[in-house]
Structure 1
Amino acid sequence: MKKTPVVIDVNHVTIRFNLATEKVDNLKEYFIKLLHKQLMFQEFFAIKDVSFQVRKGEAWGIIGTNGSGKSTLLKAISGIIKPYYGDIFVKGNIAPLIELGAGFDGNMTARENIFLNGCVLGHSEKYMKEHFDEIVDFAELRDFLDSPIKNFSSGMTARLGFSIATMVQPDVLIVDEILAVGDYKFRQKCERRMTEMLSKGTTLLFVSHSIEDVKRMCNHVVWLKKGTMEMCGDVEEVCEAYMQDLSQG
């Protein structure tokens, strides 16, 4: 059987951050210390030499405890941050749902934010008008269209973000814990849409602390532990090893 093409290739990726070792109270003090080379930094490696390949139409879960590097890795795959070492190749367009409220202006209404977000994703005003009702109906927010986003609950914001991002069929859909804030009924609705997108060839990267959700949505898993890849492979096998590790404390 012919294998589908690789659409995400993470090749020996290391991601480094510089952490300030002293407290700086204001920008003026920061720039003075910077000019005099008095700022001291400590290197922190959030991701350490991680490699894996994802093929078209596959659904991959990324699991690990808080601080293991899951969101950092997704941001690198999305192109938001650059690796310190290694390469990431992504074929096709990406719809990233990584940070709740990203791409929204809190002072603008939901109606205005739909068009703003569509513009950020590269859609024309005409295109957004044609799909406006579809977005609103899926998000179930028609009664709140003229309310500022800053007044929305986290669940309402997640619903709107997911609805806009999945309005079209992306090549790669990245979902990072954003559905955890939604109610059970809406999470089911989102899962049905993701399953439908997978059946049409979309590739999914899915981060969740719910192992049951990962098992239900994914067939492969990457397990990150303190920035390193502890295990990678079949969803049942990796999730079982992960849960055993958690139980051992």
Structure 2
Amino acid sequence: MRAHTTTQQPAIVLEHVSKWFNKRSTRSFKETFINWVKHQPVRAQQFQALKDVTFSIDEGESVAVMGLNGSGKSTTLKLVSGVMGPDEGRVLTRGRVAGLIEVGAGFHPDLTGRENVFLNAAILGMSEKETKERFDEIVAFSEIGEFIDQEVKHYSSGMFMRLAFSVAIHVELDVLLVDEVLAVGDAPFRAKCNAKLKEMAEQGITMMIVSHSAGQVKELCSRGIVIRKGAVIFDGPIDDALQVLEQN
């Protein structure tokens, strides 16, 4: 594994980060009921999702975090976003961070698209004045103008993604986190999103991207971090990272 060294300021730092989750061993309603009747506690086992993960991403870098399902890459992204905290080690970020971690995250199903734009923008740190100034641009990019005053519980996952992505990219941000969200939607819109991400990278926005798309990460990232079973097994040039991923 190659250590990443540079004189630039880091935008994201993970130092000896570990994360555990409880995994209940009781697997059926019958077992749960018997335990309850016998006043026996439900046994819980701990699963270590991340194991002593250390890396840094410099300001202006676009880095792909890759691994098979269950490897820990999405957990890593959630720790960086602040959705959860590490059990060991520390996670540091510099500047305003916006994350596309889950499609529709931060949206309230009973509110309209218009109301959710203001809600989600506020969560990402935008003022009401900023959101009003950029509202038309947000809606235009999302291409869901005719549905903007409809409750989002009636939106498809693709419509969620369009609006969530559009809000995030119109925030004044320093770091953008993206977790497979661009896998949702039609090809023309995915191409439009990728073009916007390339533009943001050229503007010096730091990006950390989780994706299974080799084409996407090669286009957007020069560096790849491969995680296997919660541990970093490679950190280096994106082409080499993709080869490591194929071999594991």
* TM-score, length of structure 2 as denominator length: 0.90
Corresponding residue number in structure 2 for 1:173: 176
Q: Map 1:107-122 to 2 at 5 A.
A: 107-122=110-125
RMSD: 1.9
Matched, 1:135 2:146: no
Secondary structure of the residue aligned to 2:69 is: coil
Q: CA deviation at 1:23?
A: 4.7
The 3-state SS of whatever aligns with 2:236 is: strand
**Are the counterparts in 2 of residues 232 and 238 from structure 1 also a CA contact under 8 Å?**
yes
Amino acid at match of 1:218: C
Aligned AA (1:15):
K
**Aligned partner of 1:164 among 148, 162, 167:** 167
Matched, 1:228 2:236: no
Q: Deviations over 1:123-144 (max 9, x none)?
A: 2322211111010000011111
Question: Are 2:34 and 1:7 aligned?
Answer: no
Which residue, out of 137, 151, 154, partners 1:151? 154
One-letter amino acid of the counterpart of residue 233, structure 1: G
C-alpha distance in 1, partners of 2:59/2:70? Answer: 28
1:191 aligns with 2:194: yes
Task: Determine what percentage of the aligned residue pairs are the same residue.
Answer: 43
Distance 1:56 1:123 in 2: 21
Q: TM-score, normalised by structure 1?
A: 0.90
Task: Indicate conservation of the 8 Å contact 1:169/1:197, yes or no.
Answer: no
SS at match of 1:126: helix
Q: Give distance in 2, aligned partners of 1:95 and 1:170.
A: 7
1:241 Cα deviation from its structure 2 partner = 2.1
Equivalent AA in structure 2 for residue 196 of structure 1: E
- Between 214-223 and 37-46, report the one with greater CA deviation: 37-46
Shift of 1:119: 2.0
Alignment of 1:200 onto 2:203: yes
The answer to whether 1:59 aligns with 2:69 is no
Task: Write the letter of the residue equivalent to 2:53.
Answer: V
Asked whether 1:21 is paired with 2:47, we answer no
Q: Is the 8 A contact 2:175 2:206 kept in 1?
A: yes
The 3-state SS of whatever aligns with 2:104 is: coil
- Offset of residue 108 of structure 1: 1.4
Distance 1:236 1:120 in 2: 36
Q: Structure 1: how far apart are the matches of 2:148 and 2:72?
A: 36
1:3 positional shift: 3.0
Q: Distance in 1 between matches of 2:229 and 2:171?
A: 35
Q: Which moved more, 1:122-131 or 1:56-65?
A: 122-131
Q: Flag structure 2 segments of 5+ consecutive residues without an equivalent.
A: 1-5
Counterparts of 2:56 and 2:126, CA distance in 1: 30
- Cα distance between partner residues in 2 of 1:44 and 1:165: 32
CA shift at 1:169, angstroms? Answer: 3.4
